[in-house]
Amino acid sequence: MSKSLFADASSRLEKALGYISISEDSLKRLKYPKTSLSVSIPVRMDDGSLQVFQGYRVRYDDTRGPGKGGVRYHPNVSLDEVQSLAFWMTFKGALLNLPFGGAKGGITVNPKELSRQELERLSRGYIDAIADFIGPDIDILAPDVYTNEMIMGWMMDQYSIIKRRISPGVVTGKPLTMGGSQGRTSATAMGAFYAINAILAKFSQLPPQTTVAIQGFGNVGGILAELLAKVGYKVVAVSDSQGGIYSSHGLDIPSIRQYKKEGYPMKAVYCAKSVCNIVEHETITNAQLLTLDVDVLIPAALENQITAANAGDIQAKYIFEVANGPTTSAADEILDQKGIYVFPDILINAGGVTVSYFEWVQNRSGLYWTLTEVNERLKERMIAETEQTWNIAQQHSVSLRTAAYIHALNRLGEALDAKGTRDYYIKG
Ligand code: NAD
């Protein structure tokens, strides 16, 4: 039987253990999610029928603060996946030194098959089911795959109705008019952009000489493609769930984003208007995109995309994990042997949770920041933690992933130990 996603995710801890001093008690605690909630959500469909959906909310650890993590709507959502995502959130929060634990939620659904009204009833039903387990001081939600600002607004509203008080701090990634933060929608892409620039500069890999392929053209992948192209990186390939497009001359990213917004699938967008006459291009599969001969590969879709089956064919020199968990541990070994640098998800995509933290702070203080303030604070934090992770990797001659876990585990271990360990009680 193949390893579960969660078993594979948590195996990443093992490598970091040789480099930190964490008590056995604390380590034991971190191997299990604190709370895993499974709920059924009955929804009245537009045709009058009743459909029951399966939902989850996992709070993995809340030693450093309330649980924090997104909600995913996808047909493949399972408890195993949500636990893994909650595990990554725990380490991401610690890595960025945020006062949060890790959590995640999801509903097993294909949202593209629901009307907007059905989607609203489902989202409000999910909050009805988990309301007693979340809250601004308990566990805070956010967007993830196939959820967005509108859905976050419904969720915050439903929670406020249940609690009979306006509670903006229970959800981040809300519309600006409901207490959202400037810069939250672009935060994950922006954070990745700051980290990528800082890292590539260390290799003297400058934008005009750098070709980039991006898998996934959603909220994160689409915005990141545009940010990279704007400063001169040559984005030669992008894809969505239906497939991708490639041009060795570099793609016209703003036009592709515009056509995607108008609802064209990636295969069609590039030729739907006149752009295909300007730049020669070809259609490719998602599998082909991953093995293109490019400098930088950015998985920005779903987990388990780079596996033992295709890692040997990867040609990129640098992989920046914008998606959560796109590389399996077996693939990591192969990439390492090939000398490919992998910059891990818990660092590269941490901009989202960082600006979620800023949003939560603004909701609690009632004082709202400008976009410039948000981005400056994000940049400062992303670069500081990227540098620290880089230095740990150099110091111990370990991969960037192991360095990120060492850095996060040190902070988590310290917080867990402060609550009291076996040594503390026995030695008095
Ligand atoms: P999204 O729903 O906006 O976009 C997902 C994209 O992936 C879409 O372009 C979709 O077509 C594509 N996709 C779906 N299935 C695919 C497949 N099998 N092959 C290739 N592409 C496929 O989601 P998002 O918010 O951009 O999230 C993308 C990734 O980034 C996820 O792994 C998510 O967990 C991670 N992430 C998101 C945030 C955030 O703030 N939104 C923060 C941290 C991490």
Domains and CATH numbers, the chain: 34-165 (3.40.50.10860), 187-348 (3.40.50.720)
The first and second tokens of residue 319, run together, are: 């992989």
User: What region does 368 belong to: left with phi over 0, alpha with psi -120 to 50, or beta?
Assistant: beta
Q: Measured in angstroms, how far is the CA atom of residue 412 from the centroid of ligand 1?
A: 27
Residues with beta carbon inside 6 Å of ligand 1?
143-146, 188, 215-221, 239-241, 286, 300-302, 322-324, 349, 352
**240 vs 268, 343, 345, CA distance in Å?**
11, 22, 19
Atom of ligand 1 nearest to the CA of 326: 32
Q: Tell me 424's DSSP state.
A: H
pLDDT at 274: 39
Taking the centre of ligand 1 as the mean of its atom positions, its distance from the CA of residue 116, in whole angstroms, is 20
Beta bridge partners of 139: 67, 135
Q: How far is the CA of 320 from the centre of ligand 1 (A)?
A: 14
Residue whose CA lies nearest to ligand 1 atom number 4? 218
Asked if 38 and 10 touch (Cβ cutoff 8 Å), the reply is no
Residue-wise pLDDT tens for the chain (428 aa)?
457 888 888 788 888 888 887 888 888 888 899 999 999 999 999 999 999 999 999 999 999 999 999 999 999 999 999 999 999 999 999 999 999 999 999 999 999 999 999 999 999 999 999 999 999 999 999 999 999 999 999 999 999 999 999 999 999 999 999 999 999 999 999 999 999 999 999 999 999 999 999 999 998 999 999 999 999 999 999 998 888 889 998 998 988 888 788 777 665 565 544 344 445 678 899 999 999 999 999 999 999 999 999 999 999 999 999 999 999 999 999 999 999 999 999 999 999 999 999 999 999 999 999 999 999 999 999 999 999 999 999 999 999 999 999 999 999 988 988 877 667 666 65
Half-sphere exposure of 377 (CA within 13 A, CB side): 21
Ligand 1 atom closest to the CA of 353, numbered from 1:
42
Query: Given this model, what pLDDT does residue 12 score?
Result: 81
Residue 127 Cα, ligand 1 centroid: separation in angstroms?
A: 22
Ligand 1 mean position to 109 CA, how many Å?
Answer: 15
Residues catalogued as catalytic: 104
Residue 14's contacts (CB-CB under 8 Å, 6 or more residues apart) are none
Ligand 1, closest atom to CA 350?
A: 43
- Measure 121 CA to ligand 1 centroid, in angstroms: 23
Give the integer Cα–Cα distance in Å for 417 and 94: 14
CA 383 to chain centre: 18
Burial of 27 (0-12, 13-18, 19+ CB in 10 A): middle
Mutate which of 181, 302, 321 for ligand 1 pocket (most atoms within 8 A of beta carbon):
302
- Identify whether the C-beta of residue 192 lies closer than 8 Å to the C-beta of residue 224: yes
Q: What is the pLDDT of residue 18?
A: 84
Ligand 1 atom with the smallest distance to the CA of 187 is 40
Residue 422: both structure tokens together: 């076996």
Which residue's CA lies nearest to atom 22 of ligand 1? 241
Which pLDDT does position 275 carry in this prediction? 43
pLDDT at 67 (0 to 100):
98
Cα distance between residue 69 and residue 426, in whole Å: 36
Q: Are 317 and 232 in contact (CB under 8 A)?
A: no
Position 424 scores a pLDDT of: 65
Q: Rounded to an integer, what distance in angstroms lies between the CA atom of residue 314 and that of residue 327?
A: 12
User: What pTM, to 2 d.p., does this model score?
Assistant: 0.92
Q: How many residues does this entry show for the chain?
A: 428
Q: What is the pLDDT of residue 269?
A: 60
Question: What is the reported pLDDT for 277?
Answer: 42
Q: How much is the pLDDT for 425?
A: 67
CB 286 within 8 A of CB 312: no
What pLDDT sits at residue 282?
85
Q: Whose CA is nearest to atom 43 of ligand 1?
A: 349
Closest CA to 353 of 124, 68, 91: 68
Mutate to test the pocket of ligand 1, among 84, 184, 241, 288 (most ligand atoms within 8 A of CB): 241
Distance 324 CA to ligand 1 centre (A): 9
* Mutation probe of ligand 1 site: the residue of 219, 259, 288, 382 with most atoms within 8 A of C-beta: 219
For helices 400-418 and 371-396, what crossing angle results, to 10°? 100
Cα distance between residue 333 and residue 376, in whole Å: 36
Atom of ligand 1 nearest to the CA of 221: 26
Beta strands 211-215 and 139-143 are unpaired
Q: Which two tokens stand for residue 2?
A: 């193949």
Give the closest residue to 350 by CA, choosing from 319, 384, 318: 384
The residues with which 106 forms a beta bridge, in sequence order, are 56, 72
